[in-house]
Structure 1
Amino acid sequence: MKLIVGSKNPTKVNAVQDIFIDNEIIGIDVPSNVSSQPFSDEETMQGAINRAKLCTEVEKNSFGIGLEGGVMYVGDKLFLCNWGALVTPTGSTFIASGARVLLPKELEIPLKQGIELGAIMDEYANKIDVSIKEGAIGVFTNNLLSRKDMFAQVVTLLKGQYEYWNKK
């Protein structure tokens, strides 16, 4: 099975490789067609679906995987969120969400100004390339859960759904 991941970000591509071990995996840049910093569950989920669908258009009989990180409110508290989508060559779509973590209040203003969380995290954590390394989830969980591992959980949910429905 060939899977095309809608990103070249190593945390996303490696997450898919960790779960779909014996499959061909490639990462390509495709647009999410949502805000560069998605600001709700709905927008983040739609970005993942859009990426996955675009990937299936690249090569016949390929599977597309879209992984999208965003932020969302629960009441007045801002959380990190993430969504994934797997689209089969026949167009079946599987969707899943993963871990959430409360974000510090001081990140809210730059996020509302449209600055991507990855860029904010570099400055906040005094690190370089947080978005392609541990991610905000890694920073705020003391590296007990990395961005790659967070996305791997989502990919596991996608794979499990695909396998379940494919055997029926």
Structure 2
Amino acid sequence: MTITVGSTNFAKVEAIKSIFENSEVKSLPVPSNVSDQPFTDEETLEGASNRARHAMELGETELGIGLEGGVVEMSSGLYLCNWGALVDRFGFLTVAGGARIRLPEEVAYELRNGKELGPVMDAFAKKRDVRKLEGAIGVFTGDLVNRKEMFAHIVKLLAGQYQFYKNNHSS
């Protein structure tokens, strides 16, 4: 099977490779067509779906996968959210969401004031490229769950749904 990931982000690409071990996986930088910092589940899911479609079209592979991280405001605070989408060349699309954790108020404050999570996390953690490595989830869970693992869970949900679809809709 051939798959195009709609991102060159290391954590996202490695998450897909870890689940689709026997597939050829390539990555392309494609637009999400949403804000740099998605602020709702709907916007984050839209970004993942757009990335999957663009990856499918530009990569000319059997599957396109898009993964997108965002945040969601709830009455109890601002939470991380993450979504994935998988599309095949025949138009089948499936989606899945993943883990959520509440962000510390000092991080949430920066996001509510227009900053993007990646640079905020670099400053907060006093590290570089947090978004490409452990991610905010890795920082705030003491690396018990890192960004690759978080996205790998979503990719498992996508792969499982796709397999179910193929097994029940083949001619």
Q: Same fold (TM over 0.5)?
A: yes
| 3-state secondary structure, aligned to 2:58 | coil
Letter in 1 for 2:4: I
1:94-151: CA deviation from partner (whole Å, max 9, x where unpaired): 1000011110111123212332111100000111110011000000001000000000
Aligned to 1:62: 62
Trace 1:26-105 onto structure 2 (pairs within 5 A).
26-105=26-105
Alignment partner of 1:137 is 2:142: no
**Contact 2:28-2:59 within 8 A present in 1 as well:** no
Aligned to 1:24: 24
- CA displacement at 1:73 relative to structure 2: 1.6
User: For residues 29 and 157 of structure 2, what CA distance do their matches in structure 1 show?
Assistant: 23
The number of residue pairs the alignment matches comes to 168
User: For residues 167 and 53 of structure 1, what CA distance do their matches in structure 2 show?
Assistant: 22
Normalising by structure 2, what TM-score?
0.95
User: For residues 91 and 73 of structure 1, what CA distance do their matches in structure 2 show?
Assistant: 32
- CA displacement at 1:61 relative to structure 2: 4.5
Letter in 2 for 1:11: A
Normalising by structure 1, what TM-score?
0.97
- CA displacement at 1:75 relative to structure 2: 1.6
Aligned to 2:10: 10
User: For residues 153 and 59 of structure 2, what CA distance do their matches in structure 1 show?
Assistant: 26
Aligned to 2:160: 160
Deviating 4+ runs (over 4 angstroms): none
User: For residues 161 and 109 of structure 1, what CA distance do their matches in structure 2 show?
Assistant: 37
User: For residues 60 and 125 of structure 1, what CA distance do their matches in structure 2 show?
Assistant: 38
Query: In percent, how many aligned pairs have the same letter?
Result: 51
Alignment partner of 1:116 is 2:125: no
Structure 1: where are the runs of 5+ without partners? none
- CA displacement at 1:60 relative to structure 2: 3.5
**Aligned alpha-carbon RMSD (Å):** 1.0
| 3-state secondary structure, aligned to 2:79 | strand
Of 60-69 and 44-53, deviating more is 60-69
| 3-state secondary structure, aligned to 1:58 | helix
